[in-house]
Amino acid sequence: MSRFVHGANVHANQIRQHYLRYGGQGQALLLIPGITSPAITWGFVAERLAEHFDVYVLDARGRGLSASGPDLDYGTDACADDIVAFAQVLGLQDYVLVGHSMGARFILRAATRHPDAGISRLVLVDPPVSGPGRREYPGKLPWYVDSIRQAEKGMSADDMLTFCPTWTLEQRALRAEWLHTCYEPAILKAHRDFHEVDIHQDFPKNTLPTLLMIAGKGGVIDAQDEAEIRSLQPSIETVRVPDGGHMIPWDDFEGFFKAFGTFLGNPFSTTTPTSAERP
């Protein structure tokens, strides 16, 4: 039985923000997906998170059903401010932030820009650690742009095999259906910020309990990166998912939830998701 509650829009930080809600009970948890992942594509993860939390999955601006267009700022700071504004509009307090990839960078920046926003804990899932003077993020821009442009014309799950060869049919079908909602200039800005914005400056400022989840097969965070982050924020907890690529729950669903351990309280169950992706 699905734990999906509803989808809705709010006006926060002067834009329309769209979200999907799962569970509806317990402590609030806001999930911020990555660079080209509309909220609906994380539904299968939200279903499991909703075992213990009132889960809100946000469409970052320029993606999914949130505001988009040429007049918006798609920079890291603006997107970080969106998260806190969203929580404020809904009246959320003592809430958890979980972010994947780009979303992990956004939630870390949100925590340091708004230390009194009511955030209780952070889970950073394989954030890009590229930045000025650092090695490039391994995800190359043409992979994103080419797939978005094809999706704008219309593409099938079979077409998506070229870009996501290890994903299931349902996962590819859902991505093919929703990828066209990713606004190319927003993606270009996010990818540029991966290389121009150094999130390492945020770790020493972050006083929240934080878990850094690292994809063992992702190639995004290596041992040297992990050591540097530990030196910048000695209190941070780190965990590796050995069989996970950068899209950890797609590659190792059970490993993803096992990696949380007791960081968020009770451990998650070990069951097969009831729905592949959608509410």
In sequence order, what are the residues at sequence separation of 6 or more whose Cβ sits closer than 8 angstroms to the Cβ of residue 106?
32, 60, 76, 79, 80, 83, 99
Phi, psi of 151 (to 5 degrees): -65, -35
Pick from 25-29, 224-228, 270-274: least confident: 270-274
pLDDT greater than 50 at residue 114: yes
Looking at residue 272, its pLDDT comes to 52
Instruction: Decide: 155 and 182 in contact? Cβ < 8 Å.
Output: no
Handedness of CA 243, 248, 250, 255 (dihedral sign): positive
Q: How far apart are CA 33 and CA 18, in angstroms?
A: 13
SS3 content of the chain, % helix, strand, coil (to 5): 40, 20, 40
Report the candidate in 105, 55, 101 with the shortest Cα–Cα distance to residue 79: 105
Q: Which two tokens stand for residue 159?
A: 């077409």
pLDDT greater than 60 at residue 10: yes
Q: How far apart are CA 11 and CA 216, in angstroms?
A: 38
Decide: residue 210, CB within 10 A, 0-12 exposed, 13-18 middle, 19+ buried: buried
In the chain, the largest separation of any two C-alpha atoms, in whole Å, equals 48
pLDDT band at 277 (very low <50, low <70, confident <90, very high): very low
Instruction: Decide: 40 and 178 in contact? Cβ < 8 Å.
Output: yes
Q: How far apart are CA 40 and CA 64, in angstroms?
A: 8
Measure Cα distances from 57 to 145, 154, 190, 252 in Å: 24, 25, 19, 20
Beta-sheet pairing, 27-32 with 53-58 = parallel
Decide: residue 176, CB within 10 A, 0-12 exposed, 13-18 middle, 19+ buried: buried
Mean pLDDT of 238-259: 97
- What percentage of the chain carries pLDDT values higher than 90? 96
Q: How far apart are CA 105 and CA 79, in angstroms?
A: 10
- What's the DSSP call for residue 266? S
Looking at residue 198, its pLDDT comes to 96
64-105 per-position pLDDT tens digit? 999 999 999 999 999 999 999 999 999 999 999 999 999 999
pLDDT greater than 50 at residue 276: no
Q: How far apart are CA 12 and CA 10, in angstroms?
A: 6
Hey, which residues does 214 pair with through a beta bridge?
Answer: 240
Which domains, and CATH codes, for the chain?
Answer: 4-138+197-260 (3.40.50.1820)
pTM given for the model: 0.96
129-178 per-position pLDDT tens digit? 999 999 999 999 999 999 999 999 999 999 999 999 999 999 999 999 99
